[in-house]
């Protein structure tokens, strides 16, 4: 108990208050769309924003004299609790408007947005007020780069350091810094994120989308989220729109450090990146093979077969979750390949979820080197990535992550099965939420949703979304007795 008293709880509350202030301000951005498409629910975002902003302001004011030091424990607590709290207040627009009257459903939809999962309980998206659909898409965009990273760029202006928050929010293998100062790194990440979002919005409008749909789909694409404003998702739009979204899903699933290099003309360095080469060649190669299978065993044209295959492969690998076709109805059980792709994930340092391609490469390389180590047991043969030796601690961390990921997948499947879900629906829902993908297989396939799940299953799925978004360890470590020991 004496140790718990040494944790800086006041700074934890202060930062949570600050994050609520940011969230409340973001809620106000949807008000113009509520007014333009006004109906009786048009004030819900205003009320929600005022409640969230006021709550955050009160918490900030009460804790304004807190000690500004943030240690590792405080960082992990803040990040994990922050996603729960901002999702809690993010339900207010749905609850106040009555668009989603159930708290369980509203929380599921909200945390699905912030974790960029894209799993939905809405059975008819197009009847939801436009202001709420904008907020729904905006939760993706905020969560994509991470509201914590945003706060890292701003908190130092208020006298609060943000390194521990950044490390907890970005728990990847080796977070590449674009600038020696963590604040400048966060600012540049958000600058690139904003620039790509703006470019995609313009290109979508050029293809016939209005401003509202363009913004919502750009938010969802760059965040690798998948919430659409249409019941048919991206299938409702032209091939041009689909190709634009394919390109930007690929960009969103790419390490954002590479975008920074690209903006500075260092294109050769991008292609030298081992993970990027695997990412592009694997995605395009798999899409072509799957497209040919669909073409020869189905009735679609070659162009549409390749486009549908490319779209779904990119959407699942990057964990975006948009759909243009019901892949469960594809010929030859080719959808099974897409299910296996749900275990891949985007690049490290991207907004994509999943295991991440960098981890997969390191696992494969380490496994291959085990044969050499068996023949030469005295030799020191390190795993190399991008031409540099990888420290054994990193390999151990990757192996531990993979083990925890698979165990979590099995545990989630087992629990959902006990709750009455069929086996295929249970494994589909588990990998789709843990991997932050959205659509899965079985009853949660691309043309279905999560509305039929029991409330308990929705809470389990919500927890899996959080685990996946924060890459397991940030959340799991809070349940470790050693974390709370001195």
- How far apart, in whole angstroms, are the C-alpha atoms of residue 381 and residue 375? 11
Which residue from 283, 280, 302 is spatially nearest to 291, judged by alpha carbons? 302
What does pLDDT average to over the chain? Answer: 87
**Residue of 38 and 469 predicted with greater confidence:** 469
- How far apart, in whole angstroms, are the C-alpha atoms of residue 275 and residue 255? 9
pLDDT at residue 251 is higher than 50: yes
**Residue of 25 and 336 predicted with greater confidence:** 25
pLDDT of residue 174: 44
What are 60-79's pLDDT values in tens digits? 999 887 777 777 788 888 88
Distance linking the first and last C-alpha atoms of the chain: 10
pLDDT of residue 40: 53
pLDDT at residue 379 is higher than 60: yes
- Tell me the pTM: 0.92
pLDDT over 90 for what percent of the chain? 56
What are 117-157's pLDDT values in tens digits? 999 999 999 999 999 999 999 999 999 887 657 655 555 54
Q: What is the mean pLDDT of residues 217-242?
A: 94
pLDDT at residue 266 is higher than 50: yes
DSSP assigned state of 324: S
User: What sign has the CA pseudo-torsion 321, 449, 169, 217?
Assistant: positive
**Which helix H or strand E contains 68, and what residues bound it?**
none
pLDDT of residue 152: 59
Instruction: Please provide residue 365's backbone torsions phi and psi, each rounded to the nearest 5 degrees.
Output: -65, -45
Which residue from 346, 340, 360 is spatially nearest to 428, judged by alpha carbons? 340
Inter-CA distances, 76 with 30, 183, 330, 400, 476, Å? 31, 18, 43, 19, 10
pLDDT of residue 296: 87
Q: Residue 456 contacts by C-beta under 8 Å, 6 or more apart in sequence? A: 419
- How far apart, in whole angstroms, are the C-alpha atoms of residue 266 and residue 258? 9
* Choice among 133-147, 203-217, 370-384, 410-424 with the minimum mean pLDDT: 370-384
- How far apart, in whole angstroms, are the C-alpha atoms of residue 452 and residue 349? 34
Ramachandran assignment for 472, one of left (phi > 0), alpha (psi -120 to 50 degrees), beta (any other): left
What are 158-176's pLDDT values in tens digits? 554 555 555 555 544 444 5
pLDDT over 70 for what percent of the chain? 90
pLDDT of residue 125: 94
pLDDT at residue 293 is higher than 70: yes
CA 381 to the chain's CA centroid? 35
- How far apart, in whole angstroms, are the C-alpha atoms of residue 269 and residue 106? 44
User: 111-125 burial, b for 16+ CB within 10 Å, e for fewer?
Assistant: bbbbbbbbbbbbeeb
The answer to whether the beta carbons of residues 283 and 306 sit under 8 Å apart is no
pLDDT of residue 144: 87
The answer to whether the beta carbons of residues 27 and 65 sit under 8 Å apart is no
The domain spans of the chain are: 7-236
- How far apart, in whole angstroms, are the C-alpha atoms of residue 368 and residue 355? 19
Identify the band that residue 367 occupies on the pLDDT scale cut at 50, 70 and 90: confident
What are 310-343's pLDDT values in tens digits? 999 999 999 999 999 999 988 877 888 899 999 9
pLDDT of residue 4: 63
pLDDT of residue 154: 52
């Amino acid at each position: 108990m004496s140790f718990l008293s040494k944790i800086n709880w006041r700074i934890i509350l202060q930062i949570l208050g600050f994050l609520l202030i940011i969230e409340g301000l973001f809620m106000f951005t949807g008000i113009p769309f509520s007014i333009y498409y006004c109906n009786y629910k048009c004030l819900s975002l205003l009320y929600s924003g005022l409640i969230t902003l006021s709550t955050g302001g009160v918490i900030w004011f009460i804790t304004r004299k807190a000690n500004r030091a943030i240690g590792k424990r405080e960082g992990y607590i803040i990040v994990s609790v922050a996603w729960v709290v901002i999702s809690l207040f993010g339900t207010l627009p749905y609850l106040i408007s009555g668009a989603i009257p159930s708290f369980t459903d509203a929380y599921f939809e909200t945390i699905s947005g912030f974790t960029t999962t894209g799993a939905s309980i809405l059975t008819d998206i197009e009847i939801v007020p436009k202001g709420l659909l904008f907020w729904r898409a905006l939760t993706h965009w905020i969560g994509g780069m991470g509201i914590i990273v945003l706060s890292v760029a701003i908190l130092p202006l208020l006298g609060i350091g943000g390194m521990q928050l950044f490390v907890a929010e970005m728990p990847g293998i080796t977070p590449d810094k674009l600038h020696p100062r963590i604040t400048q790194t966060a600012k540049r990440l958000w600058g690139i994120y904003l620039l790509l979002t703006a470019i995609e919005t313009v290109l979508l409008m050029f293809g016939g989308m209005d401003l509202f749909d363009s913004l919502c789909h750009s938010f969802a694409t760059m965040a690798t989220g998948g919430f659409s404003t249409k019941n048919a998702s991206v299938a409702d739009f032209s091939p041009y729109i689909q190709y634009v979204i394919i390109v930007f899903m690929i960009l969103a699933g790419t390490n954002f450090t590479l975008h920074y290099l690209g903006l500075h003309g260092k294109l050769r360095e991008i292609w030298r990146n081992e993970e990027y080469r695997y990412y592009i060649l694997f995605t395009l190669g798999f899409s072509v093979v799957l497209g040919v299978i669909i073409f020869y065993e189905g009735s679609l044209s070659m162009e549409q077969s390749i486009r549908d295959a490319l779209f779904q492969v990119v959407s699942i690998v990057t964990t975006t979750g948009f759909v243009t076709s019901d892949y469960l109805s594809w010929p030859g059980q080719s959808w099974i390949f897409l299910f296996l792709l749900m275990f891949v994930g985007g690049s490290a340092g991207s907004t994509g979820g999943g295991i991440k391609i960098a981890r997969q490469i390191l696992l494969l390389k380490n496994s291959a080197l085990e044969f050499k180590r068996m023949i030469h047991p005295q030799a020191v043969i390190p795993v190399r990535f991008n031409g540099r030796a990888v420290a054994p601690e990193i390999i151990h961390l990757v192996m531990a992550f993979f083990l925890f990921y698979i165990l979590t997948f099995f545990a989630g499947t087992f629990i959902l099965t006990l709750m009455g879900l069929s086996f295929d629906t249970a494994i589909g829902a588990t990998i789709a939420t843990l991997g932050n993908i959205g659509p899965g297989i079985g009853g949660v396939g691309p043309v279905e949703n999560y509305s039929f799940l029991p409330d308990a299953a929705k809470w389990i799925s919500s927890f899996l979304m959080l685990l996946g978004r924060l890459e397991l360890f940030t959340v799991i470590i809070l349940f470790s007795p050693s974390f709370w020991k001195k």
